[in-house]
């Protein structure tokens, strides 16, 4: 498989999962890009939800676990540097699309 095809494949796969994570986070009003929030979701801590929705929270948690596995595979297939650039570009696009509703913005002091 050529490098370009491999990068496009992994980019599409990661983009699909990360976009669905963003959607589920918005449903639950979870600011997944804020420090410690992803870890809380992975530990099944629903207190990070601004809007209770057990079904969406469960899906969010499962998608985050899936993303962790996919990220490891992308590192193996593409290399850490290329996979990190790809993931960062997807994250930046999602932050632009959904604004600060996903978190990750610094609060005023």
pLDDT digits (tens, 9 = 90+) for 57-75: 999 999 999 999 999 999 9
**Which residue ranges of the chain lie beneath pLDDT 70?**
1, 105-109
Residue 89 lies in a domain: yes
Residue 85 lies in a domain: yes
Residue 108 lies in a domain: no
Distance CA 82, CA 71 (A): 11
Report pTM.
0.89
Residue 43 lies in a domain: yes
Q: What domain count does the chain have?
A: 1
Residue 9 lies in a domain: yes
Domain span at residue 38 reads 3-98
Residue 10 lies in a domain: yes
Residue 105 lies in a domain: no
Residue 109 lies in a domain: no
pLDDT at residue 109, as a whole number: 37
């Amino acid at each position: 498989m050529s490098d370009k095809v491999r990068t496009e494949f992994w980019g599409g796969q990661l983009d699909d999962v990360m976009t669905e994570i963003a959607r589920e986070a918005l449903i639950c009003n979870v600011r997944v890009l804020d420090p410690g929030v992803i870890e809380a979701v992975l530990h099944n801590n629903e207190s990070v939800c601004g809007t209770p929705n057990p079904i969406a929270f469960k899906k969010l948690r499962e998608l985050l676990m899936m993303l962790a596995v996919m990220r490891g595979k992308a590192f193996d297939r593409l290399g850490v540097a290329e996979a990190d650039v790809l993931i960062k570009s997807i994250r930046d696009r999602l932050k632009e699309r959904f604004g600060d509703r996903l978190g990750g913005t610094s609060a005023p002091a």
